[in-house]
């Protein structure tokens, strides 16, 4: 018999699991673009963030915030507003690290940038994109 998860624990597992999957997609797409195309790391990162953002939206709405309603344009717009704000912060930190120390491994730069953006992203999702009025 499997015991149901505590709702708070389920929420945080969903948040970190969804974020981890989006991170893996971000890093995988970045590495693939750097290997298979002539575009530079900063341009490749814009593309990798965009792909990861779609994965994050689908996972967070399903697993982190357990949104039962069908996706709406309003939710989509709120999420992408939050996500692009967090992505801009993520990109700025990533670019700063790479410009200040170009020999930095891209994985290290992504982890640093992701940690900073994760806090902003969670707060924006929790209180903006997926905020539902309480009954």
User: Domain boundaries in the chain?
Assistant: 8-129
> For residue 75, what pLDDT is reported?
82
> For residue 134, what pLDDT is reported?
53
In this prediction the pTM is 0.72
Low-confidence ranges of the chain (pLDDT < 70): 1-3, 132-135
> For residue 38, what pLDDT is reported?
95
> For residue 102, what pLDDT is reported?
94
The Cα–Cα gap between 73 and 47 comes to: 23
The Cα–Cα gap between 55 and 44 comes to: 17
- Give the tokens for residue 26: 């971000």
Distances (CA, A) of 118 to 49, 113, 126, 129: 13, 9, 12, 15
């Amino acid at each position: 018999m499997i015991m149901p998860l505590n709702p708070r624990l389920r929420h945080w597992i969903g948040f970190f699991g969804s974020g981890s999957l989006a991170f893996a997609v971000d890093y995988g797409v970045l590495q693939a673009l750097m290997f298979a195309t002539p575009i530079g790391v900063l341009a490749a990162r814009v593309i990798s963030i965009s792909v990861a953002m779609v994965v994050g939206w689908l996972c967070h709405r399903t697993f982190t915030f357990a949104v039962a309603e069908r996706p709406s344009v309003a939710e989509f717009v709120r999420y992408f507003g939050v996500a692009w704000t967090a992505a801009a912060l993520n990109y700025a930190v990533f670019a700063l690290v790479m410009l200040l120390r170009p020999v930095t491994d891209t994985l290290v730069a992504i982890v640093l940038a992701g940690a900073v953006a994760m806090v902003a992203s969670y707060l924006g999702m929790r209180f903006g994109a997926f905020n539902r009025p309480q009954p």
